[in-house]
Each structure stands twice: as C-alpha cells, then as structure tokens.
Chains A and B, each alone.
Chain A
Amino acid sequence: MKHSFLDKYSSLNSFIHKLDPRVKIITTLFFLIVVMTTSPIFLWAFLIYFLIELIILIISKIPILFILKRLLMLIPFILFIVIFAPFISKNGYAGSYNLGILRNLGDGFYNINSVLVVMNVVLKSFLSIIALILLSSTSPFSQLLLGFRKLKVPSIFTNIASFMYRYVFVIVDEVQRMVRARNARNYRGKWIWQSKVIGNMIANLFLRSYERGERVYFAMLSRGYDGDLILNYKYKMRWIDWLYLIIFSIILVLTMFFTR
C-alpha cells in the first residue's frame, strides 16, 4: 500500500528550503510565542503575521491548496469554541463561562467578550498551524529532527519522533489489513456485541506494535546501537542564515513593541 509522505514538499528547492533547519525552528518558535501573546484587539498585528507567512509561503513554492487542506483539521476544534461562545459571560475575563445563557441572550446573542474570545482562538490557531506546516514542509523530517537535536533537545524526544515518522505508515497498513480481514468475515458494526471486536483490534494492534518494537530494537543492537542515533547533519550556518534570523527577529520584536 502506498501513502503520501508526511513532509511532502520538504524536498523542493527554494531559498527557505536551503536555510539551516535550526534557523527555521528558532524563528518558528519565536513567531509562535509572539503570536500567542498578542492581544486580539491589535488586528493590524495579525495582518502583519499573516503577511510574513504569506511571503514565506510564496518564496518556498509550496502549493496554497496543500496548506488549505491541512488547515481543515482545525475546524472541529474551532467549531466547539464557536458553539460555546454564547455562554461566555459579559463581564468576566476571557475563558470564564456562564450557564445563564438567557441572561446573556438579553444583551444580544454574542457579546463583545465572546467575540473577542472567538477571534482570539481562530486567528491564533490558524496562524500557528500555518507556521508549523511551513516549518515541517520546508525541511526534510530527519534533518529537522537533527536540527532539534543540535539545539540540545534530549535525544529521547527526537528518537521517538523519528520512529513515529518511520512506523506510522506501517501501523496504518496493519490497521487497514485488520479492517479488511474483519470486513471479509461480514462485520458490519451494527450490533452492540460487535463493538467488542474494536476493543480486540486495538489490543491486538498494541501487542503487534510492542513486539515490533522489540524486533526493531534487536535489529538496532545488531548494528552496534548504543543509545544515541548518530546521523549526519547536512547544514551549516551561512551568513544568509544569520541574516534571515536577524531580520525575522527584528520584525517580530518591533510588532511586539507596538502591540504592548
């Protein structure tokens, strides 16, 4: 079975793709912190953040449609916030809820406080996710992890992420095979007693993954593994990397300064 890569566009050739992943990790983290801490009343600041992302998107030649598709996954989360917005109390601080919906309704369905909360969540989550999609699709995943490793992130985290990346499709395949074998024996999921089957499948999948983990570990030991994945990092900080880092930081610091 074939699946698309998680980091589908990471091998494109553009200015952004050629940057050292460390620069991209640092700028992305900085960007996320600044976006998160901006008060939602400064709408123009969010416009600037969006423009920054748009410029990176255009330079990196990643298809816009790809990003839009990925953004769809945010909708269920945002939907909940919107549904609960009428319950947000008028005078309370953001995040405080009021079950007296009728009292709220008297002031119009959405009060200014709830509008701010919704705006806050929608703008920030979309901007953050776009930033993360840009990060993960402008560097090959293994090099990105090495970037994290070079930034002194403990190897246990990067190793787990690297195995996740390698085995997620193997597990998806395994699930698909199990579902197929189940359906081939007339499973329709209509009856309560059939729901037990799903529990069994999850347990089965866990056991298979566990045993696979053991076999992979044996294969690693056989090749002299002693606790750290040593891989070669292909990037070096060039003057252009430093320049990008500095310009990006200056823009962010300036917007931070004017939105406080």
Chain B
Amino acid sequence: MYKNKNLAIEIENLNFTYPDGTEALKDVSLKVCEGESLAIIGPNGAGKSTLLLNLNGLLKGNGSVKIFGTEINSSNLRDVRKKVGLVFQNPDDQLFCSTVYEDVAFGPMNLRLKEVEIERRVNDALLKVEMNGYKNHNAFHLSYGQKKRVAIATILSMNPDIIAIDEPSSNLDHNSQLSLARILISLLKTKLFVTHDIPYAALLCDRVIIIDSGKIVADGLLFDILSIPELLERHRLGFPPGFSIEKLKEDKNKLFH
C-alpha cells in the first residue's frame, strides 16, 4: 500500500507516559503518506493531542517517530519543526504577539529569513486564510473564528510540509466552520486533524484513525469505518442526531461543487 509513495510520517511502537504516570500512548504505530489528509478521532482523553505533540519533538516518548525518513532526535529538532507545523486548540495560546503581523512573522523570523521574504510569506499566509486586512490588529480583539484562522496562518508562513491541527472546528459557528473547511481543503500539504467532530472530519479527510485509551483501534478509509456503528459506539463516538453517512457524503459533495 505504501510502496510507491513517500512516507511523510512513520511512527513505530511509540509509548508515552506523562510524569504523573498517565499512559497516554501505548504502542502506537502509524504511517502517513505525503499529501494524505488524515483525521484522528477519539473520545476525550484518548491521547490524540499527545500524539500530535510527539510529531515535532515537543514531547518525546519511547519508540521512533520518523518525518520524511529522518528520525526525530535532539539535534534535528530545528529541521523537524520547520517541516511539521502544529496548530494548537486554543488560538490564545498560539497568538502571543501584540499584532497579527508579528505573530505570523514569528516563525519565519526564527528561521532567520530576510525581511523581504518574511513580508512575502506573512502576506501569502494571511491571504490564504482570508485575514489580509487585519495585519495591525491586536490578536486579542479578533473574533474566535478570526483568531483560529490567524493561528493557522502562523504555521502556513513557515511553509511546513505537514500541518497538524488540534480541534479545527471547536468553538466555531456554522459559517466559520465551513469557511475554515474550504481553506483547509485548499492547502496542498500532508494534513492531520485531531477532532471528535465526525461530520467535520468527514468533510476534510479520506482516511481516519480512531484512538482510544492511547491505542489505535481502527485505521482505514473514512466512510468504511463510519459505516460500522458498533465500532464507533464502543469508543464513545457517533454521529450527531440527524446525521447519517448519506448526509455526510452529500455535504461533502456540496462543499466541493
């Protein structure tokens, strides 16, 4: 299945235990191809976010995490973080500068790029998330949906090959969710989304893995997995009332046409 494509992420037997003894990841193995978009779903506290933090060396568990074939170690963190962009769940954690411009420029500045290049990247990134009119605004005074989009721009400006977003749809109203989905679909990168919003995952991804209690319990094509209601139920997942696979497929078609 993976032979002819470049592997973007290759995780083998990853275990992670928090200092307080919580085993967040147990023997996780996962392969993600370049250009794939993958939804990581699971109930609260399943270890989804911990998995993301392991992808660019913020947390280091036992086992190997390879990004484009190179194993993460303390000497190549800089390169890994250039390749893997993480967007955190709460945009107030992601946006810490006094203006939107400074926040989006923060990554490129740390890459020690030239000023002209930084400006170009900031403009590009803000244009992609449709926030180019807000350069000199204070991030705190934006709406939640706008903050979320700026948070994504702060990662886009670093031009990563892999972009991983924690809970892209949380706290967003319907329209903001849809406009964000359009933006996310238009990004041609390897994409990972951590969520427990199944309809949203269905809009964005073709492949899904389910994590529960630190283990990957299912991995496959999204609509295949969603059509096993017992599997979803066993892991405290399910469709919101009124949703069905048919409706999801219909919604997805609408978004693309």
Contact = CB atoms under 8 A, between A and B. Distances in A.
Interface residues of A, number: 29
A199 interface: no
B98 A142 contact: yes
B96 A166 contact: yes
Contacts of B99: 142
Interface string B180-218: 000000000000000000000000000000000000000
Contacts of B141: 2
A223 B107 contact: yes
Contact of B102 (A5, A167, A169, A231): A231
A162 B92 CA distance: 15
A216 B92 CA distance: 8
Nearest to B141: A2
B96 A163 contact: yes
Interface in A197-220: 212, 215-216, 218-220
A219 B93 contact: yes
A102 interface: no
B98 to A, nearest CB: 4
Say whether chain B's binding surface is mostly helix, strand, loop, or mixed. helix
A108 interface: no
A232 B99 CA distance: 12
A106 interface: no
B86 interface: yes
A165 interface: yes
A141 B98 CA distance: 8
B140 interface: yes
Interface string A1-19: 0110100000000000000
Interface of B: 53, 56, 58, 78, 81-82, 85-86, 88, 90, 92-94, 96-99, 102, 105-107, 109-112, 115, 118, 138-141, 154-155, 158
